[in-house]
A and B are shown apart, each in its own frame.
Chain A
Amino acid sequence: MNASSRTALLEVRGLGKRYRAHRPPVFGGVDLRLVTGDHVAIMGESGVGKSTLLNLVAGLDRPEAGTILLDGVEVGTLDDDAATRLRRAKMGFVFQAFHVLPYLTVAENVAVPLGLLGVARRESGARVAAILREVGLAGAGPRYPRELSGGELQRVAIARALVHRPRLVLADEPTGNLDPRTALQVLDLLRGQVRACGGAGILITHSFVAARTADRVLRLTAQGLAPEVLPP
């Protein structure tokens, strides 16, 4: 296939996680391979370990077994600082509860990742303006989060997740708090932006409608990831 011939952006092999030694593992044997431009949706029952998987990929937690390679770097063995720097440069996050800082304006919120990477102010301003235009919030820069609706807030969060052109965008139920119409708009936007940035995206969702916006849909079980067949 075309995708497999390209070098992998994310390569997960035999990943397993167990929270307590004497308890059964959350999951084991998870394999996942993403290349540039891939946008996958992961579904699964509540409590099966979807968020846990994202944490492991993000280097926020350590796996019990298996390896995670992001652009050839072994994420699971990095120390906290190194993992943080990797996230800063190569990942973007979208959360269900938005997590936008209330005391910063929209533009300032979006500019935080650029600030962390030391991007010069002029360039940072231009990139923030551009991404806000992309997500349909042109002109909202000086406003404060409390003046925005939920859908608008999630667009701000998406802009923040993408402004530094990450390789991998991780979204955990980003539309759980939105109405179906807005949710779909936001998800289309997310997929479009991930593509445009030249990275890959993992979307975790419970909704088939949402999953459909992805290129591939996988189901997580205790035994690993398997392709999911969506109902028509």
Chain B
Amino acid sequence: MNQARLWWTLWRAQWRDRPVRLLMPMLAIALGVALASAVYLVNRGALDEFERAARRLAGEADLVVRGAPAGFPESLYPAIARTPGVAVASPVLEVMVPGFRLFGYSGAQRPITEQPKTRHQVLLPVVAVDPFRATQVQPALLGEIAGNLRAFFRPDGIFLSVRAAGALGVGTGDQFDVLVGSSMRRLEVMGLLGESAYPRALGIMDIAAAQWMFDRSGIVNRIDVRVAEGADCDDVRAAIGRLLPSGVTVAAPAIDNERVASATRAYRVNLDMLALVAVLTGAFLVLATQALSILRRRTAFGLLRALGVTRGALRRALVLEGAALGIMGAALGVALGQRIGAWMLTALAGDLGAGQFAGVAGHLAPRPLEWVAFVVAGGLAAALASWWPAREAAARSPAAALKAGDAGIVLARVRPWRAGFALILLGAVLAVLPALHGLPLFGYGSIAALLLGGVLLVPGIADRVLGRMPTVRHTPTTLAIAQLRGSTAQASIGLAAIIVSFSLMVSMAIMVHSFRESFADWLDTILPADLQLRMGQGGDTGSLDAAAQARLARLDGVTRAEFRRTFALPLRRDATAVQIIAAPIDASTAASRLAIIESVAAGAQPARLPPAWISEAMVDLYGWSAGSTISLPLGRDQVAFRVAGIYRDYGRSTGSVVIPRSAYRAATGDASANDGAFWLARTATPAQVEAAIRAALDAGPALQLRTTTEVRQLSFANFDRAFAITYALEAIAVLIGLLGVSVTAASTALARRSEFGMLRHIGLLRRQVVAMLAGEGLLTSAIGIGCALVLGMALSLVLVYVVNRQSFLWSIDLAIPWWQLGVLAFALLAAAAVTATVSGRAALSGDALRAVREDW
């Protein structure tokens, strides 16, 4: 007999009879794959874009010499160019420039003071190059400008990417302002760069023009080097390295790329967690639907076995069925995932991703090979998910499967205590392991192990809970409890997906809440004053000279003013530059300005060395510790400091160091500042003082003044926005989990129609049967949600103390949002009860009463 024919006939018959039963596992697989592939796409899109951007700017350079944004003398350039083995060297000046759009006119000059007080500011990355050298090292960078070289040399000319032009609201021939020092300078747009080649905001200028425009004469901060053919790259690097002053490094661009990626890695913790949610929820959903779909049909399988189908043939047929469903579902899921991924990227590119995903959206190039991989993975997952129940179904004696009264007891004995505890133990062990390549891989492993272990314990726990249930004199309740006692394992399978998704959501909620609380405390500490001033938000070119600082400190209504100089300093070539903050601080005021978590007793400090405070990241990245002596390349020399304490810095995960301004000035002679804090007299309003400051500086809109309240509000708004997408996607995962529960509920309800018919015969009211079903749904969900809450809290410990610590390099204090969790749990419980009720109603509808008519 041709068995394939037989199976095909059976399968088609099932399809005609109850398409939903077969569609559900397929849909589950589709959703799981969609979630996973969407998150994968976002991750890939982001990484690709970072890489592309880095490569385009680095061009075909073999080596990149890099200094602090403040730069190094361009006299290094001829020395490097003459180094044996160097074919071409191309000097580059990279600056972050605060740019401002002009209002109401373009071209004509107008005094800054007449312009509106607040103007739209765009932080514009400008790359300035020597075109003749650059064409040999970064041909792609200049391809677009080649035909317009004359315009390129104009001292106030700049080429903008389409995105930058859009942000500034300018087109070719328009002008805009940039902040340099504490005054404005004007640039003219010479042309636009192609959007496909330059998806991010960027300006390109001639290096001489930029040096003049941004007051950096004689300064560059990058030199790209192409090594001559036949020369050894490492030898050349060593030779160049010997020429470099401290604070300037030379590295191969590969490391450079990695640096860019690692700078954004922290944000992607979010996405990694989501990927975990997606993959695990999807996998459990697939397992649940496949397992239940096979269990439901076991009587039919018993019949087939009795008719002469061998054990192996049955098993193979079921696994094959799972694979087929998996492949179809995954194909659907990939299509859906592509959509979701594109949507996520648009959302992230907006401002959810804190600007780090800008320009990624347009570049989700379809890769058919990846689609195939996802489809194959979906098929494999479904085949695996079918394998275990298929084995179980095939192993049963056909007589037992056919016997009435056997229904629902197949899995009664499955209580994987030992495997559950073993996995939880494994999770605990993984949690204490250190980061791998700077990534909390073991932390994620720990989460996965804890989750699996937790899910395996659920049937046993449900047993205990149901065993302790008091007996009540309410027949529907009694029946509900009895039914659940007899089918805990089956119910647990149905619950697995929602336990996984909900516990991950709980753990994320706890982590985000903990983070937010710690963040609030941190803001309180670092913002002691009433008014904050920044020169050209985060750019490299704005500053206040000593005279301006003195003028501001003497203003009416200001009781106290503090000024700081912040700048980035590369300390190691394979790490992002460290933020140095020169502030008026000493051992006595440190605790009131920094969120100190560890400090050295004052007595233990040798007085010779000036103190420095380091952020937690410096401990992890550089191995520094409280009490150790460090040296920073300030000015021309290395300056030694004694680490007086360690503080939390939620503003910079790549590390920061606070040093006394006096020490900074002594080493560099630089008395300028780029931000300030003002304490106001009780009688003065922030508006008055702001007006006075603006009048005193005449820097117009480039001066950013905010009250501490505003800064706090803005910070929290940014914070919440960054996590909004996380919440949205987790809600989707939980909804999918809920869908799993409802599918389970609906299918078991359908399978029990004859039972309901009998109960209706012997006198259960329709609503009593529905109440029984709702009770069952509520009880299983309550157990599931309870387990998920406990599991989620355990996971949150790993997230807070391991994953967060290892990926952001800062610590947070655990804070549990009881209220929020309560509402979430309650909402889910209500949803589960509604689901159970609806499926109960459906099962009772129509000729449910005659479901006993196998004999009537």
Residue A102 CB within 8 A of the other chain: yes
Q: Which residues of B contact A93 (CB under 8 A)?
A: 758, 761-762
Known pairs A84-B763, A101-B755; list 18 more (Cβ under 8 Å): A80-B765, A84-B764, A85-B763, A85-B765, A93-B758, A95-B852, A95-B856, A97-B852, A99-B757, A100-B405, A103-B483, A104-B479, A104-B482, A108-B482, A116-B763, A153-B405, A160-B762, A172-B856
Once A84-B763, A102-B406 are accepted as A-B contacts, the answer to whether A60 and B849 lie under 8 Å apart by CB is yes
What mask results when residues 829 to 856 of chain B are scored 1 for a CB within 8 Å of chain A, else 0?
0000000000000000000011011111
* Chain A proximity of B407: nearest CB distance (Å): 6
State A146–B487 Cα separation when bound (angstroms). 14
> Which single member of B408, B483, B856 contacts A54 (CB below 8 Å)?
B856
State A89–B760 Cα separation when bound (angstroms). 13
* Chain A proximity of B8: nearest CB distance (Å): 31
The residue of chain B having its C-beta at the shortest distance from the C-beta of A84 within the complex is: B765
- Cβ A173 vs Cβ B855 within 8 A: yes
Residues A20-67 near B (CB distance < 8 A): 51, 54-55, 58, 60
- Cβ B761 vs Cβ A87 within 8 A: yes
- Cβ A113 vs Cβ B483 within 8 A: no
Residues of B participating in the A interface, judged by any CB pair closer than 8 Å: 403-409, 473, 475, 478-479, 482-483, 485-487, 754-755, 757-766, 849-850, 852-856
State A112–B483 Cα separation when bound (angstroms). 13
Q: Which residues of B contact A102 (CB under 8 A)?
A: 405-409, 486
- Cβ B855 vs Cβ A172 within 8 A: yes
Q: Which residues of A contact B856 (CB under 8 A)?
A: 51, 54-55, 95-96, 172
Please provide the 10 A-B residue pairs with the shortest distance between their CB atoms, ordered closest to farther: A88-B763, A96-B855, A103-B486, A99-B758, A51-B856, A115-B475, A145-B405, A102-B405, A146-B405, A93-B761
Q: Which residues of B contact A112 (CB under 8 A)?
A: 475, 479, 759, 762
> Which single member of A60, A92, A116, A148 contacts B475 (CB below 8 Å)?
A116
Once A102-B406, A103-B485 are accepted as A-B contacts, the answer to whether A113 and B762 lie under 8 Å apart by CB is yes
- Cβ B763 vs Cβ A95 within 8 A: no
Residues A167-188 near B (CB distance < 8 A): 172-173, 176
* Chain A proximity of B171: nearest CB distance (Å): 74
In the complex, 29 of the A-B residue pairs with CB atoms within 8 angstroms, ordered by the A residue number, are: A51-B853, A51-B856, A54-B856, A55-B856, A81-B765, A84-B763, A85-B763, A85-B765, A87-B761, A87-B763, A88-B763, A88-B764, A93-B762, A97-B404, A97-B852, A99-B754, A99-B757, A99-B758, A101-B483, A103-B409, A104-B479, A108-B478, A113-B762, A115-B475, A115-B478, A116-B764, A117-B763, A153-B405, A173-B855
Q: Which residues of B contact A87 (CB under 8 A)?
A: 761-763
Q: Which residues of B contact A103 (CB under 8 A)?
A: 408-409, 482-483, 485-487
- Cβ B760 vs Cβ A84 within 8 A: yes
The total number of A-B Cβ pairs within 8 Å is 107
State A97–B761 Cα separation when bound (angstroms). 14
Q: Which residues of A contact B405 (CB under 8 A)?
A: 98, 100, 102, 144-146, 148, 153
* Chain B proximity of A48: nearest CB distance (Å): 13
Q: Which residues of B contact A58 (CB under 8 A)?
A: 761
Residue A142 CB within 8 A of the other chain: no
State A232–B493 Cα separation when bound (angstroms). 59
> Which single member of B475, B487, B760, B855 contacts A95 (CB below 8 Å)?
B855
The residue of chain B having its C-beta at the shortest distance from the C-beta of A92 within the complex is: B762
The residue of chain A having its C-beta at the shortest distance from the C-beta of B764 within the complex is: A116
- Cβ A99 vs Cβ B755 within 8 A: yes
The residue of chain A having its C-beta at the shortest distance from the C-beta of B856 within the complex is: A51
State A103–B763 Cα separation when bound (angstroms). 19
* Chain A proximity of B719: nearest CB distance (Å): 50
Residue A118 CB within 8 A of the other chain: yes
> Which single member of B406, B478, B763, B849 contacts A146 (CB below 8 Å)?
B406
* Chain A proximity of B486: nearest CB distance (Å): 3
Residue A212 CB within 8 A of the other chain: no
Q: Which residues of B contact A121 (CB under 8 A)?
A: 473
State A104–B407 Cα separation when bound (angstroms). 12
Q: Which residues of B contact A117 (CB under 8 A)?
A: 763
State A147–B761 Cα separation when bound (angstroms). 25
State A153–B473 Cα separation when bound (angstroms). 25
State A171–B475 Cα separation when bound (angstroms). 24
Q: Which residues of B contact A116 (CB under 8 A)?
A: 475, 762-764
State A98–B755 Cα separation when bound (angstroms). 11
Q: Which residues of B contact A98 (CB under 8 A)?
A: 404-405
State A14–B380 Cα separation when bound (angstroms). 64
State A172–B475 Cα separation when bound (angstroms). 25
